[in-house]
Amino acid sequence: MQVSGTDRPETENVLAWRDRFGQATVSLQTKATILVVGLTLSVATGVSGYFLQASARLARTEQQEKMVQLASMLAKASAMPLADGDTSRLKSLAEEVIRDGPLDYVIFADADGSELIAVGSRPSGVQGLCDPAAKPAIQGTPVYHSSEESRFLCMDISYPVDLRDTPSNSADQPQRALVGYLQAGMPADAWHRSMSSTLDLVVGIGVIVIVVAIPLGFVLIRRILSPVQGVTEAMQKFSEGDWNVRSSTCRRDEIGRLAAAFNRMADQHQQAHDRVLRLNVELEKRVTERTRQLRELALREPLTGLYNRRHFSDMIDHSFAEAQRYDSELACIMLDLDDFKKVNDEYGHQTGDELLVLTATTIASQLRSADVAARFGGDEFIVLLPQTGTERASIVGRRIIEKFGDEVSERFPQLAVGMSMGIASRHSPGVDDTDSLIRAADRAMYEAKGAGTNLVYTLTTDSIPVPSAGSNLAG
């Protein structure tokens, strides 16, 4: 599917928003804090629930036991009046118990379950004693009832009242004779108040625990994760190219070992990087030097070590153009060995090569660093002298011939070989470019060669090269 030009900015904005949203993740510290607080809250809730349940069970058990004890004591006290049918005494006993104790009402019934007297305010939800056959199921066990009038929970108990007969024979067990029933009730709001207080206490403790757990968990997690964040930031900077960064975390735990391992890795990487840089620099130097050497070898003639004819052509073109621009002198010397073919024929090409090397060494020894010497071909050599006229070039040429004669006499005394030399300059007649300059020097050299040996001729007119003074060294 192709995206039009109008839809592309909106698509790019959506992608950028996705990238920003993907990067806006919750930090590890926030997650750990939420986890610690949630765990603390779960533990506090579980402990509080268990504590409330245990407290409720204990309070209810205590209240039921208290109710059973009161019913038992009241049954014992009312056995004789109930057996005698003394309702006034039963009423007086019930009123005294209600006045001095927690009971809210007391009902007495005979053995048939018929109600004799009721004292106190009985809730409407509580039924009186009626069916004796149903009493054993709940006798002696407290039962909870909700009051529709006062809307509170009450607890009552039905308890049998029996009269013990003591037999004449002490070995026999005493006999129990059922004389009636009593039903007593008391409000259960005391238990609820106790549970409400306990609940308030537990909720208060839970709130305090949560309030304390949040900052404490944050500080604890921050203390644990701050070194991790430091190592993470160091790794992030290292991955972005800052290879000098190191972690300052110093601990004796897993985080400390992680930081130490990262520092060792960074040191090793830095050392390897520095070693690679040094090798690269050294390699670049070697390549540069080797390139220079190869270039130099490509520019030089292999036997004599002088520049070859191609490089000389480039150099003379550059020098001639520069001399024309600044109207400066530029001289060219063309020289040739006399009777060189005879040397090759009589003494061999090896001696001829040695003589060529000697000639090149002699020429190079008499030149400046700005001068250029090259092997022109065979036994011919050419020299370019920037900022030099014909007179100064003649002096250089005579020095070369003198030096060459001394070297030949010392190393090859058996050889009868000389040197002919022709000189031309940019200002010589007929010279207007590099080719005409070389031809002029070559013509002067052939004039010197035809006139004898060890001669230096300078081109002065279009057709008459003249020998330089003192150039006839052969005598």
- Among the listed residues 181, 78, 77, the one whose alpha carbon sits nearest the alpha carbon of residue 130: 181
**pLDDT value, residue 433:** 94
Which of 104-108, 122-126, 231-235, 251-255 reaches the highest mean pLDDT? Answer: 104-108
pLDDT at 26 over 70: no
pLDDT band at 474 (very low <50, low <70, confident <90, very high): very low
pLDDT at 460 over 50: yes
pLDDT at 356 over 90: yes
Crossing angle of helices 87-100/28-77, nearest 10°? 150
Provide the residue ranges of all domains of the chain, joining segments of one domain with +: 29-165+175-194, 243-299, 300-467
Crossing angle of helices 189-239/254-299, nearest 10°? 20
Which position has the higher pLDDT, 363 or 230?
Answer: 363
Can you state the percent helix, strand and coil of the chain, rounding each to 5?
55, 15, 25
Q: Compute the Cα dihedral for 190, 192, 194, 197 and give only its sign.
A: negative
Q: Compute the Cα dihedral for 120, 125, 131, 134 and give only its sign.
A: negative
H or E element at residue 347: helix 340-347
pLDDT at 398 over 70: yes
Lookup: tokens for 359: 């000639």
Percent with pLDDT over 90 in the chain: 29
| Contact yes or no for 53/172 (Cβ under 8 A) | no
Determine the 3-state secondary structure of 281 from DSSP: helix
Amino acid letter for position 97? V
Q: Is 379 a catalytic residue?
A: yes
pLDDT at 125 over 60: no
H or E element at residue 419: strand 418-425
Percent with pLDDT over 70 in the chain: 79
Mean pLDDT of the chain: 79
- Among the listed residues 288, 68, 9, 286, the one whose alpha carbon sits nearest the alpha carbon of residue 186: 68
Phi, psi of 310, rounded to the nearest 5 degrees? -65, -45
Determine the 3-state secondary structure of 82 from DSSP: helix
Which position has the higher pLDDT, 115 or 227?
Answer: 115
pLDDT at 15 over 90: no
6-20, 52-66, 179-193, 274-288: least confidently modelled range? 6-20
Which distant-in-sequence residues (6+ apart) come within 8 Å of 202 by Cβ? Answer: 48, 51, 52
Q: b/e for 420-429, b at 16 or more Cβ within 10 A?
A: bbbbbbbebe
Q: Compute the Cα dihedral for 305, 309, 312, 314 and give only its sign.
A: negative
Which of 20-24, 211-215, 386-390, 469-473 reaches the highest mean pLDDT? Answer: 386-390
Mean pLDDT within 140-156:
69
138-142, 237-241, 470-474: least confidently modelled range? 470-474
H or E element at residue 197: helix 189-239
User: What's the chain's Rg over C-alpha atoms?
Assistant: 65
Q: Apex CA 270: angle with CA 268 and CA 273, to 5°? A: 110
pLDDT band at 229 (very low <50, low <70, confident <90, very high): confident
Mean pLDDT within 434-462:
89
Domain range 29-165+175-194, its CATH number among 3.40.50.2300, 3.30.450.20, 1.10.275.30, 3.40.50.10420: 3.30.450.20
- Among the listed residues 93, 72, 73, the one whose alpha carbon sits nearest the alpha carbon of residue 81: 93
pLDDT band at 471 (very low <50, low <70, confident <90, very high): very low
Q: Compute the Cα dihedral for 200, 202, 205, 209 and give only its sign.
A: negative
**pLDDT value, residue 189:** 66
Mean pLDDT within 200-215:
75
pLDDT band at 468 (very low <50, low <70, confident <90, very high): low
Which of 19-33, 159-173, 369-383 reaches the highest mean pLDDT? Answer: 369-383
pLDDT band at 166 (very low <50, low <70, confident <90, very high): very low
CA distances from 377 to 134, 198, 334, 335, 336 (A): 146, 120, 11, 11, 10
pLDDT at 381 over 90: yes
pLDDT at 25 over 70: no
Choosing from 104, 162, 338, 379, the catalytic residue is 379
Long-range contacts of 239-244 (CB under 8 A, 24+ apart): 243/269, 243/270, 243/273, 244/270
**pLDDT value, residue 211:** 76
Q: What is the pLDDT of residues 48-83, one digit of tens each?
A: 777 777 777 887 788 888 888 888 888 888 888 888
Query: What's the 3-state SS for 24-76?
Result: CCCCHHHHHHHHHHHHHHHHHHHHHHHHHHHHHHHHHHHHHHHHHHHHHHHHH
Q: What is the pLDDT of residues 278-326, one digit of tens each?
A: 888 988 888 888 878 777 778 888 899 999 999 999 999 999 999 999 9
Q: Which CATH superfamily is domain 300-467 in?
A: Reverse transcriptase/Diguanylate cyclase domain (3.30.70.270)
